[in-house]
Amino acid sequence: MKKKESLELQDKFIQLRGVEGKSFQAISDELGVPRKPLLDWHKRHKARILPLMDFRLEQMAEKYRFTEIQKAEAMGIIYNRILEAIEVKDLSELPAGKLVQLLVAVQEKLPPCKRIRTGDAVIPDNLFHDEEVEIA
C-alpha cells in the first residue's frame, strides 16, 4: 500500500469512526483493512477522533433532547402534571397511591433545588430539599 493511499485510508477511517461512529468491524469491511491496523490508527489518531465523537454525541443529545436543562424541563412538566392530577383526584381511590409514587419518582429525577434565604425569611423553592442559598 502506498503512503498516500494509506493516509487517505486513515483519513477515511477517522471520518467513519469519529463522525459516523462506525464499529471497527464495519470500518474493516468497508475499507478492506484488517482490524489490527485500524486499532493502531485509532491509537495514533485518538486526538482527532475523540473530539469528533464528542461532537456527534452532543448533536445527538440536542436532537433527542438529552441535555441536562432539557431533561430538567421535561421532568418539571411531568411533575407539574402529576401534581395537578393529584389535586383533582379523589384520594380515597386506589390509583392516587400510584400518582403519589409517580410524583416521588419524578421528583427524585429533578435536579436539586435550593431554598432561598432573604434576611430572616426562608423561601422554600422545593419542599423536598433542605439546601439553602444566602441572598444579601
| Chain centroid to CA 25 | 27
Band of pLDDT at residue 110, cut at 50, 70 and 90: confident
pLDDT per residue as tens digits for the range 54-109: 888 888 877 776 667 777 888 889 888 988 887 876 655 657 777 778 778 878 87
Task: Confirm if 26 and 36 have CB atoms less than 8 A apart.
Answer: no
Q: Report the pLDDT value the prediction gives residue 130, as an integer from 0 to 100.
A: 46
Whether residue 127 is predicted with pLDDT greater than 50 in this model: the reply is no
d(C-alpha 74, C-alpha 108), whole Å: 13
pLDDT per residue as tens digits for the range 5-20: 688 999 999 999 998 9
Task: Confirm if 35 and 25 have CB atoms less than 8 A apart.
Answer: yes
Q: Which residue has the higher pLDDT, 29 or 86?
A: 29
Residues paired with residue 134 on neighbouring β-strands, in sequence order: 117
d(C-alpha 10, C-alpha 18), whole Å: 12
| Chain centroid to CA 17 | 21
CA 35, 41, 47, 51 torsion: positive or negative?
Answer: negative
| DSSP SS3 for 109 | helix
Q: Report the pLDDT value the prediction gives residue 1, as an integer from 0 to 100.
A: 59
Q: Report the pLDDT value the prediction gives residue 16, as an integer from 0 to 100.
A: 94
